[in-house]
Structure formats: structure tokens, C-alpha cells
A and B are shown apart, each in its own frame.
Chain A
């Protein structure tokens, strides 16, 4: 069974850093397209970052230069390193996997940026 379990969220001050993790099971992170998607309170879904099976990455303009997506194949885990956090980064962060028969999503982890 495929599972994605996010962790690492919490309360952080503006300007701070946080690393989110997404532990995968039932498939290999090295062989799939994986993404981070976020949802601010009361708002819609917003793409954040994508990592291809070949290792290439793509970031939304809103996080470019501040967030970095990566993966550890040995731990079968996806990461999102978030630096220079702003109040507008407050959101539930989901990891998602694209595959031939659709998409799998995790349950999300809440990041709150506030002083």
C-alpha cells in the first residue's frame, strides 16, 4: 500500500528555517515525480516544488531561492528545506506523488510563520 507521511511542521518566527519530511512507503521515491503543494488557511491549493525521477527540480516563483526540494533515496524520503520564511508561507504543506494511475497525497503538515 502506498503511503506518504509528512512531518516537521510547527510554529516558526519570520526569517526562520524549517525542514519538512515526507516518508514514503509502497514505492521508490527515486523512480517517481514528487511534489510539495500547500494550502493557506481558507485558500486554494498552490504548487510549491517538484522533483523529477531524474533529479531535476522546479520551484514556484513565490518560493524560488528560499525553498529547496530534495530526496534521500536510502531513506525513501522527500524533503522541503524552507529558509527565510514569511507570514505568507503559513499553510498546510502536502507531499504528492504522480504515477501512471493518478496521484497519491499525504495528510499534510501545518507550518505557521508568526512572531
Chain B
């Protein structure tokens, strides 16, 4: 099975900061990677699919990059509503999720 390793596990940043979350796959998944934001009690919200495609309605401060085994999610200027837990998901072979990154706003 493909393992997804996400880092960091927790992140504390200030409004306006540039934030980067990394996801590493145990083998190549090409561009078959999605990023989600989840808030307490809610379903995951799709942000990015196919590694770098922005989901409709998602603010342009969110961007994704990478291919193969290394991927990043970047928030260019952190906003107060961006708190939550972020997950990466590979869908090259079945589905696997990263363990999540909890983002706190300072």
C-alpha cells in the first residue's frame, strides 16, 4: 500500500504569514493528489485536486505543487478562517490519507 507522510503535524502561524505543508508518498503517484481542509464537526472540504488544480470557489491564496512523491500545499497569506486540519490524499492506487496537519492561528 502507498503510505503518505505529512509534515508538520501541527503548525502555528500569524495572519498574513506564508504557510507550507508537505506530503510525501512512499512511491510515485504522478499527480493524483488532493488537499482538504477540515473544521471540527464538518466534512472535509476539497481545496486542490490533481496536485495543483484549484477547486472552484476556493480562494486563490491556496496553491498546490509537486508530482511523483513530493507535494506541497501553500497558503500565500494566512487568513483567520484558514484554521483547521489539512489532509493530503493520494488516489493513484486506491486511496490513502496523510495523518493531517493542525493549523492554528496565533
Question: Which A residues form the contact surface with B (CB < 8 A)?
Answer: 35, 37, 44-47, 50, 58, 94, 98, 101-108
Contact = CB atoms under 8 A, between A and B. Distances in A.
> Interface SS of chain A: helix, strand, loop or mixed?
strand
Interface residues of B, number: 19
Interface of B: 34, 36, 43-44, 46, 49-50, 53, 55, 87, 89, 91, 94-100
B94 A107 contact: no
Contacts of B34: 102-103
A47 B94 contact: yes
Contacts, number: 44
Nearest to B98: A44
A45 B43 contact: no
Contacts of B43: 94, 105-108
